[in-house]
Amino acid sequence: MSVFDVLSERGFIKQMSHENEIKELLEKEKITFYIGFDPTADSLHVGHFIALMMMSHMQRAGHRPIVLLGGGTGMVGDPSGKDEMRKMLTPEFIAHNIECFKKQMSRFIDFSEGKAIIANNADWLLNLNYVNLLREVGVHFSVNRMLTAECFKKRWEKGLTFFEFNYMIMQSYDFWKLHQDYGCVMELGGDDQWSNMLAGVELIRRKEQKPAYCMTCKLLTTSDGRKMGKTEKGALWLDAEKTSPYDFYQYWRNVDDGDVENCLSLLTYLPIDEVRRLASLKDAAINEAKKVLAYEVTKLVHGEEEARKAQEAAEALFGGGVNLDNVPTIEIAAEQMSAKVIDVLTAAKVFSSKREARQMIAQGGLTVKDAVLSDPEAALNPGLFDADKSLLIRKGKKKYFRLLVK
C-alpha cells in the first residue's frame, strides 16, 4: 500500500492539482515535499496537528519533508479566511516563535541524518530586490485570476490591502525556491491554502517547464462542520505551558460520538481496522474509544508519561479512582487557606476575572469539596482541606482543580 492509499483511506486528502500523476508519483518514487508554517504564535495548535500527521505519514513512507518556517511570510500575514488584516508581527517575536515551533515539531518529524529539512523563508524573501521580483515572478501572475481566488473573496467588502495581496506571490516564490534548492516537487497544506498552493504549482510549471504538484488535507472539523480545537480558554495549544496535558487529554475525551472515527483516523497511528472497530462501539461503550483517542493523541503531543498522568487524573475524578496526584494543581500559601475563594481562583487564572467567577457562582457552577458555592464572598477555611492539605474544586461539570498548600 502506497502512502497515497494510506492518506486516502484515513481521510486526509481534500484536493489535488493532478490526481493521477500524484498517485503514480507517490507509488513509484521518493520525493521531496514541503509544508509551510507561519509563526504567528509561540506554539503550534490543533490546526497544525493534522498537517504534521500528514507530513509524518509521508516521511514514514520514505519521502523527505521540508518544514518551511515563515520568517518572511509571517512579516506580511496570510489573508486566507480572515475578515480583516492580521496584526503585524515584529522580527523578534517571529524569531522566538520559530524556535518554539522547532522544538514541538521534533515530536512528529525525524530530523536526524538528513531525513528532513528545516528552512526559513526569511533567508530569501527579506533580501529580494522588488524590481527583480516583478520581472522574474510577477509577470507570471494574472491579477484577474488572483481576484477570483477563494482566499481573497471574504475581503472584497472590507477591503484587501496591496500588502496582503502579495502573500500569494511570496508563497509561490517559496515553492519555486525550494524546487531550485532541494528538488522539491510537491506542496502540502490545509485546504484553506488551495489557491496559494495552485499558484506555486503553476509558477514552477511556467518558469521551469517541469512538473510540480500540490495536495491539501481537510481541515479538522466536527461532524456538523464546526472547526475543532477551540476551548473556553481559546485555542487548543500543543505547548504544555499554554494547554496542560490534562486539559488536552480531556478535550479529546469529550469529543462528540460522531467525531471519534475522524479523530482516531487523522490524529493517531492506530491501524485503520482498529479505528473502525473502536468507532463502531455504541452507547456507553463509545467512551472506551474516546479514552483510547485521548490517550493516543496526548501521547503523541506530550509523551507517554504525561498521557498516563492525564489518564490517571481523569480516572481519579470520573472513574472512581483515588490518586489525585495528577489532577491540575494550584499551589497556595498557608495564609491563603482563609482567603476568599474567588481571589484565590482568579489569581490562579482559573477565572479570567472576578466578574466571570461571580457569574459562575450565580449559575451554581462552582463546587468546593462537595458543596455548591452560592456566596461569591465566601472564604476558604482550614477545615475544608484534607489531611494532605489539598482541596478539590470543580468548575462547571468537568473541570477539576486541586488546591494544595505549599
* Given 15, 231, 346, 367, the catalytic residue: 231
Catalytic status, residue 359: no
| DSSP string for 290-304 | HHHHHHHHHHHHH-H
Reading the block at residue 342, the C-alpha cell is 474567588
Q: Closest Cα partner for 259 from 221, 297, 213?
A: 221
* Given 32, 38, 45, 302, the catalytic residue: 45
The helix or strand, by DSSP H or E, that contains position 199, with its residue range, turns out to be helix 194-208
Q: How far apart are CA 404 and CA 334, in angstroms?
A: 9
Catalytic status, residue 346: no
Catalytic status, residue 48: yes
* Given 18, 57, 82, 395, the catalytic residue: 82
Lookup result for grid cell 482559573: 350
Catalytic status, residue 107: no
C-beta of residue 179 within 8 angstroms of C-beta of residue 212: yes
* Given 32, 59, 73, 171, the catalytic residue: 171
Catalytic status, residue 329: no
* Given 15, 40, 104, 222, the catalytic residue: 40
Question: Residue 57, SS3?
Answer: helix
* Given 230, 308, 340, 399, the catalytic residue: 230
Q: How many CA atoms lie within 13 A of 393 on its CB side?
A: 23
* Given 48, 155, 290, 291, the catalytic residue: 48
Catalytic status, residue 221: no
Q: Please report, for residues 270, 350, 354, 374, the alpha-carbon distance to residue 347 in angstroms, rounded to integers and kept in the order given.
A: 41, 8, 9, 20
Q: Please report, for residues 43, 44, 69, 102, the alpha-carbon distance to residue 117 in angstroms, rounded to integers and kept in the order given.
A: 20, 18, 11, 11
Catalytic status, residue 40: yes
Catalytic status, residue 82: yes
Catalytic status, residue 218: no
Catalytic status, residue 57: no
Q: Is 58 exposed, middle or buried (0-12, 13-18, 19+ CB in 10 A)?
A: buried
Taking residue 318's Cβ as centre, other Cβ atoms within 10 Å add up to: 13
Q: Closest Cα partner for 349 from 279, 244, 225, 262?
A: 244
Q: How far apart are CA 218 and CA 49, in angstroms?
A: 12
Question: Residue 279, SS3?
Answer: helix
C-beta of residue 214 within 8 angstroms of C-beta of residue 174: no
Question: Residue 246, SS3?
Answer: helix
* Given 30, 210, 227, 355, the catalytic residue: 227
* Given 42, 191, 192, 256, the catalytic residue: 192
* Given 23, 57, 86, 206, the catalytic residue: 86
Write out 324-384 in H/E/C secondary structure: CCCCCEEEECHHHHHCEHHHHHHHCCCCCCHHHHHHHHHCCCEEECCEECCCCCCECCHHH
Query: Would you please indicate which residues are annotated as catalytic (active-site) residues?
Result: 40, 45, 48, 82, 86, 171, 192, 227, 230-231
